[in-house]
Amino acid sequence: LVLSNDTALSSLLSKLLQDHLEQTNSSAPPQVGSASNSLEIIYVLMMVGLFGFFTVGAMVTNIRARRLEDSREPYNMYIATDIWHKKDQEYFQAKLIENYKLCCVFENQLAVEQPSAQIPEVKSS
């Protein structure tokens, strides 16, 4: 059975549907080994084949896209070598030193601990 276009396929599918509806509506027992049974199997196999075709196509497209990635892309370089981690660590250390140099401490001379001086006590009355 060779189908030439979509019209023939749709007419075949509509005929299969009508045959199925007639079989379910009739009170007569179903015929064993009818031709529509083999056509139903062909239809199911066709649907599974189309699903497989699109699935394999998506997988091949994904694999091909990954293979075509440029190895000199910054993200791939980051993964391949750990140079960015070293640069980040150097940048962090430079920022830490810069912040340490900018940091200053103000000393309150009155709040400094003086062991020779005694704190006056308030006498309760």
pLDDT, tens only, 56-108: 999 998 888 776 666 666 666 666 566 667 788 888 888 888 888 887 777 77
Q: Do the domain assignments include residue 61? A: yes
Measured distance CA(106)–CA(8) in Å, rounded: 93
Domain assignment present for 51: yes
The reply to whether 5 falls in a domain is no
Using only C-alpha atoms, the chain has a radius of gyration, in whole angstroms, of 42
Is 112 inside a domain boundary? Answer: no
Measured between alpha carbons, how far is 80 from 104 in angstroms, rounded to an integer? 42
- Domain extent for 56: 38-71
Asked if residue 3 belongs to a domain, the reply is no
Least confident of 13-17, 53-57, 102-106: 102-106
In this prediction the pTM is 0.30
* Residue 57: alpha-carbon gap to chain centroid: 19
The verdict on 65 and 84 lying in the same domain is no
Domain count of the fold of the chain = 2
